[in-house]
Amino acid sequence: MAAHVPSPSASRAAVDASEPRPAQQTYRKHSPLSRPNPLWGVAAWAVGLVFAIPVLWMLLTSFHSEVDAATNPPSLLAPLTLDGYKSFFGNANAFPSLINSATASVVSTLLVLALAIPAAYALSIRPVKKWSDVLFFLLSTRFLPIVAALLPLYLFAVRTGSLDQIGLLIALYTTMNLPIAIWMMRSFLAEVPVEMLEAAQLDGAGLIRTLRSVVAPVAMPGIAATALICFIFSWQELLLARTLTGVVAGTAPVFLTSFVTSQGLFLAQVCAAAVVVSLPVLAAGFAAQDKLVQGLSLGAVK
Amino acid sequence: MSVDETTARQRTVLQSPAPQQQRTASRRAGWVRRAPLMPALVFVVVMTQLPFLATIVISFMDWQALRPNERGFAGLGNYAQVFTDAGLRSSVITTIVLTVVVVAVSLVLGLLIALLLDRKFFGRGAVRTLMIAPFLVVPVAAALLWKHAILNPSYGLINGTLTWVWGLFGARPPQIAWLTEFPLLSIELALIWQWTPFMMLILLAGLQSRPADAFEAAKMDGASPLQAFRYITLPHLRRYIELGATLGAIYIVQNFDAVFTMTSGALGTANLPYTIYQTFFVRQDYGLAAAQGVIVVIGTIIVATFALRSVSSLLKEDS
């Protein structure tokens, strides 16, 4: 995208060298519009805190006793306790639901990678004819509301006895994430320089050798980002899980819906459950913020 | 595309052993090239197109789970019912309002916050981490959090804070039953909180890929910061804004978690996915639910046509 534009650092260096005006030097070190004004930092911190307050409140409440959690005005300094977490893990359905979520997310992510990597290879490094049509078809399947396919899927599950089984969910999460994964992966693989592929071929490197020593190093960060996004989307999914699973294969979001109508008495427990279920995604997302951006923009914008 | 295809063609030519075998060889090469794509493509077609075809077939049937013996062909009956059903019409409007409000507000907020975070200040990474937390919280958990811990009328964080602030002045605080007095606004609030970080991330990526030299030039020509934003930053951000709006709209049109968790579709908050879920599970009218599903898909296709066009411009520049 920025190919026709000289790199920012290069142009900045050129400007600095040509006009030695010390008054503006500090100004130019920063991104073009940023004057180092501490007020902007204060404003940014304020906005960040406002957005984080509900999450921090959830965390604090999860460590309160039920009595301290349900006070008005809120009690910030109430003693902390693990009761909320104890009653969450004391629930017989809680831990199995986490295991179900982990199984569905991890296995479907692995399946997505197994299907998407070869497909992305066929769409970028040795492109089939009309590769962009194929890509558009794949993306268009993601635009179809899942709710429109829910009924046949449910009827199919009832007929085949696959209702309330994790296998069906794995297959559907794979379907749900595959188009996005192929899109992301294609754009990552498209970054492999054609010259390098040609050089490898002239040097007599075979397909496997080329993939291993030329393609893989460029593609690995992209594959990791894709896997992360697929994991997050699968872990968060509710509609399919709620429709097609129940007691045995219920995932963590389905377990959370048992708190939908709970009134008053269980606030700390609700918050503890919300924290535990969100934790894997929060951890993964915080660890890979930059990758998340590339992935969320389908790798289309860099 | 052209670069890739040219080299691909050269490669094919290089690999072809002799002119007379060229046609069979190139046909085989075509299949070799297509082979890695096939498992994924077949999988997606089977898993997405077959269920949707089944939905279309069912939408023309009389099929109520509670009356299994009356199953039969209904013609356009279900569709007629969809269009005359006041409940469905209102859920169409709810879906549109919800999507437009959430996408528009979170885009504008996301842009303002991205502009803030594009500056250098102490703890920028920490603030960004705080900002993206809402997007990572599992949607059901977020909806529960808003319903029980924040908007609850008797001990939620908002009313509790009102009590505290008014208490400082010795006054009786206003206590608002958010979910019953402003049901749609409550859902919008929770969704805007979740989606603003998403928009912010995409727009921040856009800001940080701005070519720096255009700014140098603009500044030397005496452009004000506002002019630089209007004529340089905004045009550059356009495709990022389009992408954020497209992806946001796709996900928010399909929102089920927040509506289901926060209001269970009561008080005019039932959007299309929730309504279909109700027709299907509570009324158990499979034919009607299928017809509603088909209509949603047609509506989505209309929206997606615009969306695909904006993504298509991305693809062209990419190649």
Is residue A62 within 8 A of residue A85, CB to CB? The reply is yes
Kindly give, in sequence order, each residue whose CB lies less than 8 Å from that of residue B145, ignoring residues fewer than 6 positions away: A54, A57, A58, A270, A271, A274, B137
**Residue of chain B whose alpha carbon sits nearest to that of A116:** B40
A80 Cα to chain B: minimum distance (Å): 17
Per-residue pLDDT averaged across A46-55, rounded?
A: 94
Q: Does A147 touch chain B (CB under 8 A)?
A: yes
- Look up the pTM and report it: 0.83
Q: Considering the domain boundaries, does residue A233 fall inside one?
A: yes
Write down the domain spans for chain B: 87-317
Q: Please state, in angstroms and as integers, the Cα–Cα distance from residue A203 to each residue in A191, A195, A200, B17, following that order.
A: 21, 12, 5, 19
The pLDDT tens digits along chain B (319 residues) read: 444 444 444 444 444 456 666 777 777 877 888 888 899 999 999 998 899 899 999 999 888 877 777 777 877 888 988 888 888 888 889 999 999 999 999 999 999 999 999 888 888 889 999 999 999 999 999 999 999 889 988 888 888 888 888 888 877 888 888 888 899 999 999 999 999 999 999 898 888 877 777 777 777 777 788 888 888 888 888 888 888 888 888 889 889 999 999 988 888 889 889 999 988 888 888 999 999 999 888 887 777 777 667 666 665 554 4
* Distance between CA atoms of residues A243 and A151, nearest Å: 9
**What residues of chain B lie within 8 A of the CB of A54, using their CB?**
134, 142, 145-146, 149-150, 157, 193
Kindly give, in sequence order, each residue whose CB lies less than 8 Å from that of residue B110, ignoring residues fewer than 6 positions away: B195, B196, B197, B198, B199, B200, B202, B203, B244
Burial string for B9-21 (b: 16+ CB within 10 Å, else e) reads eeebeeeeeeeee
Q: Considering the domain boundaries, does residue A232 fall inside one?
A: yes
Question: Which residues 35-74 of A have a C-beta within 8 angstroms of B?
Answer: 36, 38, 40-41, 43-45, 47-49, 51-55, 57-58, 61, 69-74
Per-residue pLDDT averaged across A215-223, rounded?
A: 84
Nearest to B157 among A57, A236, A277 (CB): A57
Number of domains in chain A: 1
**Residue of chain B whose alpha carbon sits nearest to that of A271:** B145
* Distance between CA atoms of residues B90 and B88, nearest Å: 5
- Tell me if B48 and A149 make a contact (CB, 8 A cut-off): yes
Residue A24 above 60 pLDDT?
no
Res A88: pLDDT:
87
Burial string for B191-202 (b: 16+ CB within 10 Å, else e) reads bbbbbbbbbbbb
* Distance between CA atoms of residues B59 and B295, nearest Å: 10
- Residue-wise pLDDT for A153-177, tens only, equals 998 988 888 888 899 999 999 999 9
Q: Considering the domain boundaries, does residue A274 fall inside one?
A: no
Is domain B87-317 in CATH 3.40.50.300, yes or no? no
Count of other CB atoms within 10 angstroms of residue A300 = 20
Res A220: pLDDT:
85
How confident is residue A211, by pLDDT bands cut at 50, 70 and 90? confident
Res B317: pLDDT:
52
**What residues of chain A lie within 8 A of the CB of B33, using their CB?**
122, 126-128
Nearest to A55 among B113, B134, B211 (CB): B134
* Distance between CA atoms of residues B254 and B271, nearest Å: 9
**What residues of chain A lie within 8 A of the CB of B48, using their CB?**
141, 144, 149, 175
- Tell me if B315 and A289 make a contact (CB, 8 A cut-off): no
Q: Does A206 touch chain B (CB under 8 A)?
A: no
A165 Cα to chain B: minimum distance (Å): 17
Nearest alpha carbon to residue B155 among A183, A72, A60, A21 = A72
Per-residue pLDDT averaged across A44-54, rounded?
A: 94
User: Maximum Cα–Cα distance for chain A, whole Å?
Assistant: 78
* Distance between CA atoms of residues A129 and A122, nearest Å: 10
Q: Does A1 touch chain B (CB under 8 A)?
A: yes
* Distance between CA atoms of residues B319 and B314, nearest Å: 9
Residue positions counted in chain B: 319
Is residue B199 within 8 A of residue B135, CB to CB? The reply is no
How confident is residue A3, by pLDDT bands cut at 50, 70 and 90? very low
- Tell me if B48 and A144 make a contact (CB, 8 A cut-off): yes
Residue A165, Ramachandran bin (φ over 0: left; ψ between -120 and 50: alpha; else beta): beta
**What residues of chain B lie within 8 A of the CB of A141, using their CB?**
44, 48-49
For residue A219, the enclosing domain spans 99-241+280-297
* Distance between CA atoms of residues B224 and B285, nearest Å: 62
Pick the residue of A15, A25, A151 with the most B CBs within 10 A to test the interface with B by mutation.
Answer: A151
DSSP states along A180-217: HHHHHHHHHHTTS-HHHHHHHHHTT--HHHHIIIIIHH
Q: What angle do CA A128, A134, A135 make, to 5 degrees?
A: 110
B302, with CB counted inside 10 A (0-12, 13-18, 19+), is: exposed
- Tell me if A30 and B119 make a contact (CB, 8 A cut-off): yes
Q: Considering the domain boundaries, does residue A144 fall inside one?
A: yes
Beta bridge partners of B61: B73
Q: Considering the domain boundaries, does residue A15 fall inside one?
A: no
Neighbouring C-alpha atoms within 13 Å toward the C-beta of B82: 23
- Tell me if A145 and B126 make a contact (CB, 8 A cut-off): no
Res B42: pLDDT:
92
**Residue of chain A whose alpha carbon sits nearest to that of B292:** A148
Q: Considering the domain boundaries, does residue A32 fall inside one?
A: no
Q: Considering the domain boundaries, does residue A173 fall inside one?
A: yes
Q: Considering the domain boundaries, does residue A66 fall inside one?
A: no
* Distance between CA atoms of residues B147 and B136, nearest Å: 18
Q: Please state, in angstroms and as integers, the Cα–Cα distance from residue A153 to each residue in A51, B71, B98, B271, following that order.
A: 38, 19, 27, 21
Flag the least confident range among A116-125, A207-216, A266-275, B182-191.
A207-216
How confident is residue A254, by pLDDT bands cut at 50, 70 and 90? very high
